Amino acid sequence: MKRILFSILAILFLALLVISSNKPWMEAIADYRFYSPWDWLGPHKHGDLYNLCFIQDYKEPITEPVFKKYNTEKKNTDLYILHDSYLQYILNTNNFRGIDSLQQIDYRNRPATKVLNPARASVLIIETAQRYARWRLQNPLYYINALVIAKQIPGRQEEAQYIQEDTSNWITSLLAKRFNPNINSNLEFNLFDYAAFSPVRGWKSGLNYGLFNKLNKQIVISKDRKYLLLEETVDTLLNTGIYTPLPEAELDSMVAHMALIRNHFLGCGFKEVYYSIIPNTITVLDSNYFPQREGNGLIYKIKAKAESRQIPYIDIYSLFLKNPDKMYKHGDSHWTDAGKQIWIDQVNETLIK
């Protein structure tokens, strides 16, 4: 009997380890739990950063997003958006002016194969969070392979070729596929991240923070103590941070890749391709987190260089600076509905030009 029980436990633990190591599976589980009607499945609806510390001051209320809707005359246009979690599940066709359809492609579901409608103009927006911009724009195939355009041929569909990414360093590639660097937090998410454990976790986290000023290593608190921030966005060594030096050569390379990616999709049949970078919370709210250092100016430098090369760019950074306190959530790494609406408005201004 003991052997049977031990075997069952071993199988369950192995299954949990495999699931927690698999990035697509974890993303699917997280999405399901977030949108599940059963509240006990997880407290992370109150903010992804709150969920790392459970400090009540940063608990976000759950609200249903409401955005402006338009019933304007169609302009024979299909809008495609390549996006990350900033635009996940929030948009509908009627949020935009002058389009017939909206196609959202999440990077996590890459590659997605689409067929452009030759009877309508197709417009592509490539959105990315600032903290991912440097490494994504240094890897053009990340974007090119995220959206594969198939050619429509009478009687059949010819799929565009998926370009093989560089796997010359096969050891690193194999390790990346087999071992998830977030395995510890994933295991904690699957084992303990449920509403029933929230009071205990909140008490423990509050005690650690109150007595020892100890927080989860993935987060820091803003100087004014109003916001939780992702540690990687203030790190002075990682390229996700706003204080990490940005060499001119790297900046030029990123913009050259933007032109390459744009030309690729124009060649696939898109009428126009736009870029949009969503600022890190700290870039707008707390850019003097380390007073002795200056931010690297990634967003406005890319915007200036892109525009000098006639690469269309949808800017929200300058608008966010006008009302920074309402653009980001206090316990979440993402923007508020007000911030999203500003982005939607800027897209609409671009579409109706």
Position with higher pLDDT, 76 vs 108: 76
Angle between helical axes of 183-192 and 23-35 (0-180°, round to 10): 30
Mean pLDDT of the chain: 82
Percent of the chain, pLDDT > 70?
A: 78
130-147 confidence digits (pLDDT tens)? 999 999 999 999 999 999
Pairing mode, if any, of strands 156-158 and 112-115? unpaired
3-state DSSP assignment of residue 146: coil
299: which 2 tokens? 């967003």
What is the DSSP pairing of strand 121-129 with strand 219-221?
A: unpaired
Place 292 in a pLDDT band, splitting at 50, 70 and 90: low
pLDDT digits (tens, 9 = 90+) for 204-249: 776 777 677 778 888 998 888 899 999 999 988 999 999 899 999 9
Give the C-alpha separation, 239 to 302, whole Å.
15
**CB-CB contact of 41 with 194 (8 Å):** yes
> pLDDT tens across 53-98, in order?
888 888 887 777 888 888 666 678 999 999 998 988 678 888 898 8
Examine the pLDDT at 108 and tell me if it is beyond 70: yes
Helix and strand counts by DSSP (H, E) for the chain? 13, 9
Q: In this structure, are residues 73 and 352 in contact, taking their beta carbons and an 8 Å threshold?
A: no
What pLDDT does residue 168 have?
47
Written as six digits, the tokens of 286 are 């707390």
Using 50, 70 and 90 to split pLDDT, how confident is the model at 122?
Answer: very high
Contact 222, 229 (CB under 8 A): yes
- Is residue 243 within 8 A of residue 297, CB to CB? The reply is no
What's the pLDDT tens digit per position in 309-351?
Answer: 999 999 999 999 988 889 999 999 999 999 999 999 999 999 8
| pLDDT recorded at residue 286 | 67
8-12, 96-100, 117-121, 289-293: least confident range = 289-293
Q: How far apart are CA 230 and CA 25, in angstroms?
A: 23
Pairwise CA distance, residues 229 & 95, whole Å: 29
> Which of the two residues, 88 and 124, has the higher pLDDT score?
124
